[in-house]
Structure 1
Amino acid sequence: MKQLALDIGLASGPTLENFQPGSNAQALQHLRLAVGEAGALRSPVPTYLWGLPGTGKSHLLRAVYEALRAQGVLVGWLDPGMRWPTSFDERWAAVLLHDVQHYSEAQQAAAFNWFINAIDPAVGPPRWVLAAGDLPPADLPLREDLRSRLAWGHVFQLQPLGDEDLRAVLRRQASERGMVLAGEVLDYMLNHFSRDLGSLAQLLDRLDAFALQTQRALTIPLIKSMLQGD
């Protein structure tokens, strides 16, 4: 039986609901409370998430961004790919700072400006600041005034997922793409590739595209064939 040619884009994006918490349930609950019913306005205390790559920081920041936007809330977003950050916008209800450890001098200056304007705005109530990086605040390679402010509020260290949680995430992501991951395929992926979730999700994307292209079922031979360029 040939696999149906489903579009990879059918897979859902990051949400707080499809985040697999594992040992990070406290951080997830904190974010859920913050975004519930204009929660950004009710939770002005800054929040900082940190952890190794693949622990879910990007997922959570993008999930929060989408959740607030769905409420009609305007949000400021800054990541290392934005070379020319804009000025702080008084219409923002929250400020999200992504991958802060990679900020340039100009981005650090913008992030500091956004932070100060969010916490002590000229107009309106304080805004929520949610930031994320690979390191705890004290170890970030940033200017001191920004680094110290990222440590002001709630700080959560995100932990990598264990095997069972990784399997659950990969099965769900595969199901969203119309794929079925057999147990032996999951074991092979976890034992032969980088175990961080971001890398595994990228591998799943590649396998989905290759399976559709070759009209073959998702098996260990298919993985080997893809890697060999067949």
Structure 2
Amino acid sequence: MKQLGLPVLLNAKMRLHNFIGDKNAQILTFIDTLFANSNSSAVMVSGDKSSGKTHLLQGCTFAAMDKQLNAVYIDIKEECPEGLIAQLSEVDWVCIDNIEDASDTQQQELFDLYNQIKHTQTKLIVSAQNLPSELDLLKDLKTRLSLAVNFTLENLSDEQKTTILQNKMADKNIHIDDKIYAYLFKHYSRDLSELLSAIEQLDEASLQKKTGITVPLIKQVL
């Protein structure tokens, strides 16, 4: 199955099997139970930037499609057709990312969807950086999301971030010395999204210069 008619491109590397974090195992176990359950369910996932919310939601989308279920992943930060969210109650899995950025209209649509899925088998998974009580959302929507199953993702350690970066490089058959990652953490950033972007830039620069990724190259590029 394909993601239903949306312009957002899914990242094929964001799968549930490579979603890391020891404390995050609990939510993966819960997601497994959702696939075995015919009832509707609403799940609220919160976590800091780069804690893996997008990875988790896209992983759920892929897992649903692998099981021949209809699935939709929506990033509220991206353009979304007006009225779409309120029309998804017949979709098996609905994953909506970054709901703290939803407009008032989108919030009302999400509230309507939450109410509609009580009568369907839809699994609704939404994410935000903070818990529902801490979000600037419509009061009724905050109440509904507070009643959903709530999970907070753990903040990844430098070692876990290094593993993610190493896996990304391994996909390209590239090995980088561990001291390079340590240098990036100390002198560039500990934000995973920024690190992933930096690794892409360094990879491109190393190909152009036909050299390995080194500290001098980091200083030159970043």
Please indicate the TM-score interval, normalised by the length of the shorter structure: 0.7 to 0.9
Summarize the Cα distance change of 1:197–1:140 in structure 2 as closer, same or farther, 3 Å threshold: same
Residue 14 of structure 1 corresponds to 14
Specify the code of the residue in structure 1 equivalent to 2:108: A
Unaligned regions of 5+ residues in structure 2, if any? 1-10
Q: What SS class does the counterpart of residue 166 from structure 2 fall into?
A: helix
Q: Which gives a bigger RCO, structure 1 or 2 (Cα 8 Å, sep 6+)?
A: 1
Specify the code of the residue in structure 1 equivalent to 2:212: A
Unaligned regions of 5+ residues in structure 1, if any? 1-10
Residue 23 of structure 1 corresponds to 23
- Structure 1 position 79, deviation (Å): 2.6
Normalization by structure 1: what TM-score?
0.83
Summarize the Cα distance change of 1:99–1:222 in structure 2 as closer, same or farther, 3 Å threshold: same
Q: Are the counterparts in 2 of residues 100 and 133 from structure 1 also a CA contact under 8 Å?
A: yes
Q: What SS class does the counterpart of residue 130 from structure 1 fall into?
A: strand
1:79 maps onto 2:50 in alignment: no
Segments ≥4 residues shifted beyond 3 Å: none
Once the two structures are superposed, residues 166-198 of structure 1 have per-residue CA deviations (whole angstroms, 9 ceiling, x without a partner) of: 221111111112211201101111112221222
Residue 49 of structure 2 corresponds to 53
Residue 156 of structure 2 corresponds to 161
Residue 142 of structure 2 corresponds to 147
User: RMSD across aligned C-alpha pairs, in angstroms?
Assistant: 1.9
Deviating more after overlay: 60-69 vs 23-32: 23-32
Q: What SS class does the counterpart of residue 165 from structure 1 fall into?
A: helix
Q: What SS class does the counterpart of residue 211 from structure 2 fall into?
A: coil
Q: What SS class does the counterpart of residue 149 from structure 1 fall into?
A: helix
Residue 33 of structure 1 corresponds to 33
Q: Are the counterparts in 2 of residues 47 and 155 from structure 1 also a CA contact under 8 Å?
A: yes
- Alpha-carbon separation, structure 1, partners of 2:195 and 2:19: 15
- Alpha-carbon separation, structure 1, partners of 2:117 and 2:177: 48
Q: What SS class does the counterpart of residue 13 from structure 1 fall into?
A: coil
Summarize the Cα distance change of 1:105–1:163 in structure 2 as closer, same or farther, 3 Å threshold: same
Q: Are the counterparts in 2 of residues 95 and 114 from structure 1 also a CA contact under 8 Å?
A: no
Specify the code of the residue in structure 2 equivalent to 1:143: L
Percent sequence identity is 24
